[in-house]
Amino acid sequence: MNNGKSNGQAKNVGIWIRVSTEDQAKGESPEHHEKRARYYADSKGWNVLEVYHLEAVSGKSVKEHPEAQRMLSDIKSGHVTGLIFSKLARLARNTKELLEFADFFRDHDADLISLQESIDTSSPSGRFFYTMIAAMAQWEREEIADRVAASVPIRAKLGKRLGGASPLGYQWVENKLVIDSKWAPIRKLVYDLFIEKRRIKVVARELNNRGYRTRVGKKFTHATVKRILRDPSAKGQYRANYTHTLGKGNKWEFKPETEWIYTEVEPIVSPEIWDECNRILDEQQKKVVPKSKPSLYLFTGFISCVCGERMKVPSKSKSYTCKKCKNRINIDDLETIFQEQLKSFVFSEKDIKEYFEKTDEAMKEKEKLLKSLEDESKRLREEMNQIVRLYLDHTMSQEAVGSHYRPLEERAKSIADEIPKIQAEIDFIKIEKISRDEVVYEAKDLQSHWKDMTFNEKRIIVETITEKIIVSSDEVSIHLSTLPQALNSASLVTYPLG
Shared-domain flag, residues 219 and 192: yes
Assess if residue 297 is contained within a domain.
no
- Residue 245: which domain range? 158-287
**In 92-174, which ranges are continuous DSSP H helix?**
95-107, 128-157
* Contact in structure between 312 and 327 (CB atoms under 8 Å): no
Rounded to an integer, the average pLDDT of 142-164 is 52
Type of residue at 396 = M
Q: Judge whether 438 lies within some domain.
A: no
The answer to whether residue 56 scores a pLDDT higher than 90 is no
Within this chain, do residues 170 and 132 fall inside the same structural domain, yes or no? Answer: no
Position 339 scores a pLDDT of 82
Q: Could you give the CA distance from residue 463 to residue 302 in angstroms, rounded to a whole number?
A: 8
- Summarised one tens digit per residue, pLDDT across range 440-486 is 555 555 666 677 778 877 887 787 678 889 999 888 888 876 544 43
Q: At 488, is the pLDDT very low, low, confident or very high (cuts 50, 70, 90)?
A: very low
The DSSP line for 320-340 is EE-TTT--EEEHHHHHHHHHH
Q: What is the average per-residue pLDDT within 245-250?
A: 57
Are 200 and 168 within one domain? yes
Mean pLDDT score across all residues of the chain? 78
In a domain, 165, yes or no: yes
Q: How many CA atoms lie within 13 A of 2 on its CB side?
A: 27
The total number of structural domains that make up the chain: 4
- Give the whole-number percent of the chain exceeding pLDDT 70: 72
CA atoms of 98 and 456, how far apart (whole Å): 28
Name the most confidently modeled range: 13-22, 329-338, 357-366: 329-338
Residue type, 172: W
pLDDT the model gives residue 322: 93
Residue 474: inside a domain: yes
In this structure, the answer to whether residues 181 and 315 fall within a common structural domain is no
How far apart (Å, rounded) are the C-alpha atoms in residues 423 and 28? 12
Which residues, 6 or more positions from 293, have their beta carbon under 8 angstroms from its beta carbon?
none
Cα 383 from Cα 389, distance rounded (Å): 10
Q: Is the pLDDT of residue 48 over 70?
A: yes
Q: Among 112, 139, 166, which residue terminates a domain?
A: 139
- On whether both 328 and 453 belong to a single domain, the answer is yes
Residue 149 maps to a domain: no
Q: Are residues 338 and 358 both part of a single domain?
A: no
Confidence of residue 175 (pLDDT cuts 50, 70, 90): confident
Asked if pLDDT for residue 383 goes beyond 60, the answer is yes
The answer to which of 62-76, 225-239, 453-467 has the lowest mean pLDDT is: 453-467
In DSSP terms, 477 is beta-bridged to: 470, 494
Read off the DSSP letter of residue 312. B
The answer to whether residue 179 sits within a structural domain is: yes
Is the pLDDT at 490 greater than 70? The verdict is no
Across the range 254-274, mean pLDDT stands at 84
Beta bridge partners of 480: 466
Same domain, 414 and 311: no
Query: In angstroms, what CA-CA distances link 188 with 344, 365, 446?
Result: 70, 81, 63
| In a shared domain, residues 317 and 191 | no
CATH number where 225 lies? 3.90.1750.20
Q: Is the pLDDT of residue 208 over 70?
A: yes
Q: Are residues 15 and 80 in the same domain?
A: yes
For residue range 101-140, list pLDDT tens digits in order: 888 898 898 998 988 877 888 776 666 665 665 555 555 5
Per-residue model confidence (pLDDT) at position 442: 53
Cα distance between residue 151 and residue 437, in whole Å: 47
Q: Give yes or no for a contact between 428 and 40, defined as CB atoms under 8 angstroms apart.
A: yes
Same domain, 261 and 128: no
Asked if residue 292 belongs to a domain, the reply is: no
Q: Is residue 435 within 8 Å of 123, Cβ to Cβ?
A: yes
Query: What is the β-pairing status of strands 176-179 and 47-53?
Result: unpaired
Domain-terminating residue out of 411, 433, 455: 433
What per-residue confidence (pLDDT) applies to 18?
A: 85
Cβ atoms of residues 321 and 310 within 8 Å: no
495, pLDDT greater than 60: no
Statement to judge: residues 63 and 17 lie in one domain: yes
477 domain-assigned: yes
Top pLDDT among 453 and 70 is at: 70
pLDDT digits (tens, 9 = 90+) for 388-436: 888 788 788 888 878 888 888 889 888 888 888 888 888 877 776 665 5
Q: From CA 110, how far away is CA 13, in angstroms rounded?
A: 9
Domain boundary, last residue among 433, 454, 478: 433
| Alpha-carbon span 234 to 451, nearest angstrom | 55
The CATH number given to whatever domain includes residue 100 is: 3.40.50.1390
Q: What is the pLDDT of residue 483?
A: 46
Q: Report the run of H or E that residue 264 belongs to, with start and end.
A: strand 261-264
Model pLDDT for residues 280-290, shown as the tens digit of each residue: 999 888 765 55
Per-residue pLDDT at 83: 94
The better pLDDT of the pair 87, 168 is held by 168
Position 268 pLDDT exceeds 90: yes
pLDDT band at 179 (very low <50, low <70, confident <90, very high): very high
Q: At residue 144, does pLDDT exceed 70?
A: no
The highest-confidence range among 31-40, 235-244, 266-275, 364-373, by mean pLDDT, is: 266-275
Same domain, 164 and 119: no
